[in-house]
Amino acid sequence: MVQILDVMEKALTGLPLSENDYQLRRFAPKVQEKVREFKIKYDPENPVPNDNSLADDLFEAGLELLVDVGAYCMDSGRVISYTESEIRNALRNAPEKLEMGEGKDRKTFVPRKVGDRTKPWCLLGAAGGAVSADKAFATLMEGYAEIPEVDAITTPALTRVGGMRIRPRSPLEVLGAMRAAVLGREACNRAGRQGIPFMNTLSTAESAIALAAAMHPKYGLRPSDGFMIASMDPMKIDFDRLNKVTVALSMGAPIGMDFAPLMGGYSGGPEGTAVTTVASHLMGLLTLQTSYLIPFPLHLKYVSNSSRDMLWIISAMGQAISRNTHLLSLSLNYTAAGPATPMVLQETSASAISAVASGLSVESVGAAQNKYEDRMSPVEPRISGEVAHAVAGIKLQEANEIVKSLLKKYEKKLPDPPLGKTLWECWDSEKRRPTKEHSAVVRKFKKEMKDLGVELRPEE
C-alpha cells in the first residue's frame, strides 16, 4: 500500500518538471490522446447517458491517464508517479463504508451503484460559500442542521474576524477557523443535532496551521468529522495540503478530497474533463490517502456545473466510478443562479438527479457560482436533499428525460443568470424559515417537479 511517506518520497525524487511543462506538455496532450484512444464522445441529446461501454471506457481512460502523467507537486517541482498495480491495489483496499458523526447523528456512508435504491449520502450546506459575519454563519448552520435529509454539513467560510478581513496563513485565519468550529457546533446544538459531522472540515481553514489549530478538542472538531482537502487543477498538490493529510491521519480521521477539473481548461472539452475527473478520483485515493471524494467539475465560462455538457460529465464519470469501484463519491453542484429564484432550484435538481441516477451521492449547494458573500440560504440545499432522496432508484432513461425538461427551463439563462437574494432578504432567522416570497417560489417549483414525476414533500 502507498502510504504518506511513500507519497513524500515520490514528491522529492520523481521526474523534475516545471509546472508549465507538466500542464501543457505532459497533462493536456495525454488527456486528448486518451479521448481519441478510447473513442469517448459527448452526446448533447443525452445529458444522462445510458451506455455501459462508455462508462467502462471512461474508467480505463482515467486510470491510464494517471499512470501516464502522475500528479504534480508544486513545492518540489516533481511528478508523483504511480504504477497500475499501485492504483488497483489502492482501489481494492479503499474503504467500503464510513461511520460518520456521533451519538444519534452517527450514520453509515456507503457506496452506490447505477439505479441504486439506497438513499444517497447528503452533505448539505454552503459548500464553502463566504459569509461576512458570525451571525450569518450561525444562522445558516442552524438551518442546515434542521434539514431532514442532511447526513453531514458542508460549512460556510468566515471572511472576517474582529472586523478584519481574514488573510491566508495569518493569525486571523487561525482565529477564524477556531471561531467557525465553535459557532458551528453551537448552532447544531441549538437544532438538537449535536453529533452531526462537518464533512468539509472548515472552509475557513485554508492552511494546514489553521486546520491543526481548529482540531483542538476544545473547539469541537472530532475525528468523526470529515477532513476535506482540495487539490488543484490539473491534479496538483503542495506540501501544505500534504501537511493537512499528515495531521488528519494522525487523528485517525477520514480524509476527503475535493477537486474541480475545468471544462475549457487543460482537460479540454466534456470528454477530456470526464476522463480527468475519473483520474482525479484515483489520484486522491493515493496522494491524499482519501476515504471519500468530492468531484465538482466546472464550466470555465459559467463557473457552475448545471449546463448540459457539465451534467453529462457528472453522469458519465459517476457511472464510470460506480460501475468499476466501490469508492465513496459525492457530486458537488455549483449553480449559476442565486437563492430565491426558480432557476437555482432547477439547476441544483438537475445536478442531483444526474448524480444520484449515476450511482453518486451529493454535496449541495454552491449557489450563484459560490463567489458572493451571504448569497445563500438553507432552502437550496434542502431542496437538493429532497430531490436526491426522491429519485433514489430512478432509471437512467427516466432521469435523462427529467433532466432534459429541467434544462429547457434554464439553460438559455446560463450566460446571464439571476443573482437572487441574500440570506437576510429571503430567510427569517427568528422563525427559522424562508420568507413568504421565497416559500412561494419553492411551492411553485415543487408543483413543476410533481408534473415531471418527482414527488417532493408539501411545502409549509
| Residue 335: inside a domain | yes
Which residues, listed in sequence order, are joined to residue 262 by a DSSP beta bridge?
Answer: 298
* Whole-number Å distance between alpha carbons of 46 and 211: 42
Q: Is residue 52 part of a domain?
A: no
| Residue 439 maps to a domain | yes
Question: Pairing mode, if any, of strands 152-154 and 122-125?
Answer: parallel
Average the pLDDT over 55-76 and give the result.
Answer: 98
The fraction of the chain above a pLDDT of 70, given in percent, is: 100
Task: Indicate whether 239 pLDDT > 90.
Answer: yes
* 399 exposure class (CB count in 10 Å sphere: 0-12, 13-18, 19+): buried
In angstroms, how far is the first alpha carbon of the chain from the final one?
52
| Cα separation, 403 vs 407, whole angstroms | 6
Averaged confidence pLDDT in the chain: 96
| CA atoms 381, 361, 260, 152: torsion sign | positive
- Of 196, 283, 211, nearest to 248 by C-alpha is 211
pLDDT at 205 over 80: no
CATH of the domain at 325: 3.20.20.460
The long-range contacts involving 15-24, CB below 8 angstroms and separated by at least 24 positions, are: 15/70, 15/78, 15/79, 15/81, 16/77, 16/78, 17/72, 17/77, 17/78, 17/79, 18/77, 19/72, 19/74, 19/77, 19/236, 22/69, 22/72, 22/79, 22/236, 23/72, 23/234, 23/266, 24/266
Look up residue 440 and give its three cell numbers: 412561494
Task: Give residue 69's pLDDT.
Answer: 98
Pairing state of beta strands 78-80 and 71-73?
antiparallel
Residue 122 has pLDDT above 90, yes or no: yes
Show the cell assigned to 423.
440570506
Question: What are the Cα distances from residue 102, in Å, to 123, 161, 459?
Answer: 16, 29, 30
- pTM for this model (two decimals): 0.97
Question: Does some domain include residue 45?
Answer: no
- Residue 322 inside a domain? The answer is yes
Q: What domain range includes position 416?
A: 113-234+245-259+289-451
CA 346 from centroid of its chain's CA atoms? 18
CB-side neighbour CA atoms (13 Å) of 260: 15
**pLDDT per position as a tens digit, 336-360:** 999 999 999 999 999 999 999 999 9
Alpha-carbon distances of 163 from 128, 214, 254, rounded to whole Å: 20, 20, 34
pLDDT at 325: 98
How far is it, in rounded angstroms, from Cα 459 to Cα 83? 52
Q: In this model, does residue 425 exceed pLDDT 90?
A: yes
Q: Is 459 part of a structural domain of the chain?
A: no
* Band (25; pLDDT cuts 50, 70, 90): very high
The yes-or-no verdict on residue 204 having pLDDT over 80 is no
Structural domain includes residue 353 = yes
Per the DSSP assignment, residues forming a β-bridge with 292 are 256
Cell of 10: 515520490
3-state secondary structure of 384: helix
Write the pLDDT tens digit of every residue in 77-110.
Answer: 999 999 999 999 999 999 999 999 999 999 999 9
pLDDT at residue 264 is higher than 80:
yes
Cβ-in-10-Å burial (0-12, 13-18, 19+) of 403 comes to buried
Half-sphere exposure of 449 (CA within 13 A, CB side): 29
> Does residue 222 lie within any of the structural domains?
yes
pLDDT in tens, 134-149: 999 999 999 999 999 9
Please state the rounded mean pLDDT for residues 389-418: 98
- Decide: 299 and 83 in contact? Cβ < 8 Å: no
For the chain, what is the domain count?
A: 1
